[in-house]
Amino acid sequence: MEMKNINQFKIREWLDVQDIYLSEHYAELNPTWHEEDSPWKARQVRDIIDRNNLEISSFCEVGCGTGEILLNLTNSYPDVQFTGYEIAPHAYQRAKEKETSQLTFKFGDALEEKNANFDVVLIADVIEHVEDYIGFVKGMKGFGRYKIFHIPLDLSVQSVFRGWPISNLRKNVGHIHYFFKDSALDALRDCGYSIIDFKYTASRLELPKQALSSRLMKLPRRLCFSVFPDWTVRVLGGYSLLVLAE
């Protein structure tokens, strides 16, 4: 499914919400495509794979951006074949330059791919951007046995109270859905998934290039999390959820 064969009608259906990715707008707001976060995200994925002893020969990422997470994972799993799907032309072109015999990128909607099946499918920081995320998550069920979701937990007491953090996520990085732990897990279950494993990831504490407010909150979040993890995430925020589902 190369760029010239992309279903143009499907792309037009997305334009209302996803024009930020199909145009250069997202690249202008986020010129690195968050590549600096990829080594950290790859470590989180590697951790949940290894602690569940998953046997993998094929691995796919849907919404792979510039492909940096997959590129990092190839170093850990040299015998696995990796494939990435991306709808944003700018990100796809950057990813395409990183292809190897072990790593392939495809341009377009993964849901239109026929007869694709992988051992593990990664959907990292994607569903909060997708207009019909329920339809998207259901559509991914047949794409592979195991799914790994990484979902930012944007809803917390402090984020709702202040308001502007959520507004900025919508304006700057295109989040149109917002989750806390229970709503994220319930959404996956409602889509027919069984939850095998999940864990919090300390995205605002450990990722580079954080805002001043996140840096100031780093120590309180870390201290509180060590004693009351669920309370800390629900009240102070700053975490994401990594989920292994089948």
pLDDT, tens digit (0-9, with 9 covering 90-100), for 107-147: 999 998 888 899 999 999 999 999 999 999 999 999 999 99
CATH placement of domain 3-209+239-245: 3.40.50.150
Which of 108-117, 144-153, 180-189 is the least confident region? Answer: 108-117
Supply the pLDDT for residue 174: 87
Bridge partners, 43 (sequence order): none
Render pLDDT for 21-73 as a digit per residue (tens, 0 to 9): 666 666 676 677 778 989 999 999 999 999 999 999 999 999 999 999 999 99
Supply the pLDDT for residue 206: 85
Please tell me the distance from the alpha carbon of residue 190 to that of residue 98, in angstroms, as a whole number: 36
Global pTM value: 0.86
Residue written as tokens 């990664």? Answer: 122
Among left, alpha and beta (phi > 0; psi -120 to 50; other), residue 84 is beta
SS3 224: helix
Supply the pLDDT for residue 3: 39
Structure tokens at 37: 């976060």
Contact 9, 121 (CB under 8 A): no
Please tell me the distance from the alpha carbon of residue 140 to that of residue 70, in angstroms, as a whole number: 18
Contact 207, 37 (CB under 8 A): yes
